[in-house]
Chain A
């Protein structure tokens, strides 16, 4: 069974304090790993797709990286508007469904 584990569960940063979120996965035949952002009361919003180990994607203050066992979401000089829950998901084999982790709840304060 595909498993996705995210850590930490919650993270509190001061504005400008860079950090990383972790997503470790166990899956048979990874087709893709995906990062989403979810604001309270909203649906998840797609951020990145990573397909193979060594791949990196960037968007503003966010950079996602992938190894054979885990993915990191690096947040550089975060701002309060980056506060959200960040979800990691995997797609395996021939399945169309995504398997999500439980997310990391990020709070960025002034």
Chain B
């Protein structure tokens, strides 16, 4: 597709369950970011990949959160033992290698609800 694709668009789970959120970036974009957005707030940085490696994971809130990008394209954000406070929209964004630093292309997000 032409844009960043995120699946699922909506996920409802129970407290304590495991969740995976997938991001398919724009073809050829080497940089990939995950952000989290709570209601009425701006996006909050989680993790940044350059190619296959996590170049900056300083935004991951704790060790229940983990993300991978094994082939330098699709990325999966994994959340273990979900808590109600994890409920938010998880946004993925990608960027061309030579693009301006803030020129990110965002997907529509995966809305996670933890009951």
Contact = CB atoms under 8 A, between A and B. Distances in A.
A46 B56 CA distance: 22
Interface residues of B, number: 27
Given A100-B43, A101-B42, A102-B40, A89 B56 contact: no
**Which bracket fits the contact residues of A?**
20 to 34
Contacts of B105: 46
A42 interface: yes
Given A44-B43, A101-B42, A91 B106 contact: no
- Residues of B contacting A: mostly: loop
User: Could you say which of B59, B102, B108, B109 has the most chain A C-beta atoms within 10 Å of its C-beta?
Assistant: B102
A60 B113 CA distance: 38
Q: 8 closest A-B pairs (Cβ-Cβ)?
A: A43-B106, A100-B42, A34-B102, A97-B45, A49-B100, A96-B48, A100-B43, A102-B42
Interface of B: 4, 31, 33, 40-45, 48, 50, 55-56, 58-59, 91, 93, 100-109
Nearest to A91: B101
Contacts of B101: 31-32, 49, 91, 96
Given A95-B56, A97-B56, 15 more contacts: A32-B100, A33-B102, A34-B102, A41-B108, A42-B109, A43-B91, A43-B107, A46-B104, A49-B101, A49-B103, A87-B43, A96-B33, A96-B50, A98-B43, A102-B42
